[in-house]
Amino acid sequence: MARKIKMIMAKPGLDGHDRGAKLLTRICAEAGMEVVYTGLRQTPEMIVAAAEQECADVIGLSSLSGVHNYFFPRVAELMKQRGLDHVLLVGGGIIPEEDYDFLKESGMAAIFGPGTPTAEIVSFIRNNVRRR
């Protein structure tokens, strides 16, 4: 039997809105993944360390406070430095579409805006995760 997909769900920065992160944690788990939600106020270092420790296949970032352009690329950069290039990095929240290109160039595999069906997120992860 294949190992379960392992996911870290994280809230970078000081944003406290985690309804979406908590919901996705549960929904991804119900879809057969093993998910750790880190809670609020995570620095990029904390997020990447958690991914290393858990041997995660996916990192999901959530931001609703407008700090995505600051935090998401830093997480991507740190992953590169730690040799976690194989880990799928996705994000979501209140993120204007005009920022999507910049974020994808910075290493995000996908950005999911408000109203995205969770099934779409689950299937994106399944189809794009690289299993070790």
Partner 1 sequence: MFDEKALEKIRAGKEKWEQGPVAQAHSRSSERKPIFTTISGTPVGRLYTPLDVKGLDYERDLGYPGEFPFTRGVQPTMYRGRYWTVRQYAGFGDARSTNERYRHMLAQGQTGLSVAFHLPTQAGYDSDHPLSMGEVGKVGVAIDHIGDMRILFDQIPLDKVTTSMTMNAPAIVLVSMYLVIAQEQGVAWDKVGGTIQNDVLKEIICRGQYIYPPRKSMRLAIDLIEFCGKNVPKWNPISISGYHIREAGSTAAQEMAFTIADGIAYTEACIERGMEVDSFAPRLSFFFNAFTNVLEEVAKFRAGRRYWAKVMRDRFKAKDPRSMMLRFHVQTGGVSLTAQQPLNNIVRVAFQAYATALGGAQSLHTNSFDEALCLPTQQAATIALRTQQIVAEESGAADTVDPLAGSYYVENMTDRIEAEIDDYIQKIDAMGGSLAAIEQGYIQKEILESSYRFQKELESGERVYVGVNKYVMEEPSPTGLLKVDMAVGEMKAAELKEHRAQRDHAKWKAALDELRRVSMTDENVMPCVIEAVKAKATVGEICDVWRDLYGEYRPKEFVY
Chain residues binding partner 1 by CB under 8 A are: 13-19, 22-23, 25-30, 34-41, 43, 65-67, 69-71, 94, 96-98, 113-115, 117-119
- Tell me how crowded residue 100 is: count the other CB atoms within 10 A of its CB: 16
The distance of closest approach from Cβ of residue 110 to partner 1 in the complex, given in angstroms and rounded to an integer, is 16
User: End-to-end CA distance of the chain, in Å?
Assistant: 14
The distance of closest approach from Cβ of residue 71 to partner 1 in the complex, given in angstroms and rounded to an integer, is 6
Instruction: Give the DSSP H/E element, type plus range, for residue 24.
Output: helix 19-30
In terms of C-beta density within 10 A (0-12 exposed, 13-18 middle, 19 or more buried), how is residue 50 classed?
middle
34 vs 82, which CB is nearer to partner 1? 34
66 vs 107, which CB is nearer to partner 1? 66
83 vs 117, which CB is nearer to partner 1? 117
Instruction: Give the DSSP H/E element, type plus range, for residue 60.
Output: strand 58-63
User: How many residues does this entry show for the chain?
Assistant: 132
Q: How far apart are CA 60 and CA 72, in angstroms?
A: 10
The distance of closest approach from Cβ of residue 21 to partner 1 in the complex, given in angstroms and rounded to an integer, is 11
The distance of closest approach from Cβ of residue 17 to partner 1 in the complex, given in angstroms and rounded to an integer, is 7
45 vs 85, which CB is nearer to partner 1? 45
